[in-house]
Amino acid sequence: MSNFNSEFDFTPLTSQYTSTPTPMVPPLFHAPLPSLPVPQTQPPLYPPASPSPGPNSSAPIIKPIFIDGLAQDFKLENQQRLNLHAFVKLGSLGGGLSQADLATRLYLLAVVYSEAAERRRITDEQGVSDLKGLFTDLKIRLEETFTFNGEQRTNIRSVAQDVIYQANRTSFVTMHLSVETIVSEDRSGMKMGNIYGSPAREKQLLTLIKRTCSSVRNAFRVDIKNSVGIDCNSVESLEEFTYRTAMKYKRGGAGEKLDIGFTIHNALLRKFALDNPQLVQSAEVEESDTESQEGSPVPKKRKASQHSGRVPNGKHFWAKVDAWFAAEILQRGRNFASPSWKIYIDGTTAEDSRRFRNGIDVGPTGEAVTGTDDDCPAGLSGTSQAGTFNGQSVAVGAGQGESLMNLL
């Protein structure tokens, strides 16, 4: 036992453990170990950073109660109040606006909302909340009282007069179709912008055009009748009648050079009137007597009688003129310069020039014919109103049919 103690001396080992112990780990692990997580029961050394305010933040920059109070003070609507809350949430995204900046913007928005809400309240109190519906209703009601203004009526009549005086016109009863086409193609120039697009107004326009054409036809018929001395003492020569009617009906007047076609056209109409003196004295039943607007009482038609001087449609002067032209065109062709037409036109114009001169109707036998002055217009007399056109007379005589080329 003593030998064992002599070979193994524990004294140094004991002092070693009682003093600084030798590390039992390699030098690589001399660094301190990472600290353990702090228990939940212990407060952290540094308080965590406050999260950025957002849409779901429990601590917004501006409290909801402030927003609701602002909405109540300005008497905002519920949707406007919700918009204020959404505005604050948007202003708090990311870094967010400062509290003063966001509050100022919020206040301005509330002021704007307040004015809009007040206007709506006033509108509701006056009972005109549906302004669009109100204006629609007024527009429908005004349709019943719609009328054409003076300029529109004048434009339509001007077109109708120009159409009836066309040198190649052989159809007069349906002339309203030509007038309607011209007005439609130039609706802006004719001041018809408030007509097209509304079926009701377009229908009224067609009715007005028909009435105007009927009135123009009757006026032109009277001019033809008076010019040849039927129920009128004073007559006009063909050139005088052509000049006066061109100034009255043709757009732009007679101009410097009036085409010979107008003179020939008038000569044919005057001859038809002379061949049908009873017919030319009867007026057609105007469209205003036969048509009416929907929803209004239908006026009674005027009966044709000797006192009224009116004949039924289809039997009046212009209907017979249309039928005469149709028959002659079927027989002679559509070209007024054809030999058949040339012979007829030369004979007609020569007879017209021989019979009506110096304001006197010498009649077919060469004896002066007199009538009454009841229907004579004040401006109609034997004094020449035509003179010359560009230094040349428009009197028509034999051979002038050659200058009319295919008027139809």
pLDDT tens readout for residues 369-391: 555 445 565 445 443 334 333 33
The closest alpha carbon to 269, from 221, 341, 218, 233, belongs to: 221
What is the distance between the alpha carbons of residues 39 and 280, in angstroms, rounded to a whole number? 123
Residue numbers in the chain where pLDDT is lower than 50: 1-19, 22, 25-34, 36, 38, 41-55, 57-58, 288-308, 372-373, 378-379, 381-408
Last residue within a domain, chosen from 78, 99, 125: 125
How far does the chain reach from its first CA to its final CA, in angstroms? 160
Q: Please spell the DSSP secondary structure of 290-345, one letter per residue.
A: H---TTSPPPPPPPP-TTTTEE-TTSSHHHHHHHHHHHHHHHH-S-TTSHHHHHHH
- Residue found under tokens 């400062």: 98
Within 29-174, residue ranges assigned H as helices are: 64-73, 78-91, 99-126, 131-143, 150-164
Q: In the prediction, which pLDDT does 209 show?
A: 96
On whether residue 260 sits in a domain, the answer given is yes
The DSSP line for 236-303 is --HHHHHHHHHHHHSTT-S-SS--HHHHHHHHHHHHHHHH-HHHHTSEE--HHHH---TTSPPPPPPP
* Domain-embedded: residue 247: yes
Radius of gyration of the chain, Cα coordinates, nearest whole angstrom: 52
Tokens of 275: 């061949």
Asked if the structure places residue 373 within a domain, the reply is yes
- Quickly count: other Cβ atoms within 10 Å of residue 215's Cβ: 17
Total residues found in the chain within this entry:
408
pTM, entire model: 0.58
User: In the numeric block, which tokens belong to residue 256?
Assistant: 């410097």
Q: Is residue 148 part of a domain?
A: no
Predicted pLDDT of residue 335: 86
Residue 6 lies in a domain: no
Asked if residue 377 and residue 260 are part of one domain, the reply reads: yes
Structural domain ending residue among the three candidates 84, 99, 125: 125
Residue 358, domain extent: 225-403
Total number of domains constituting the chain: 2
Residue 169: inside a domain, yes or no? Answer: no
Domain termination residue (choose one: 61, 94, 125): 125
Are residues 102 and 238 located together in one domain of the fold? no
| 5 part of a folded domain | no
Establish if 183 belongs to a structural domain. Answer: no
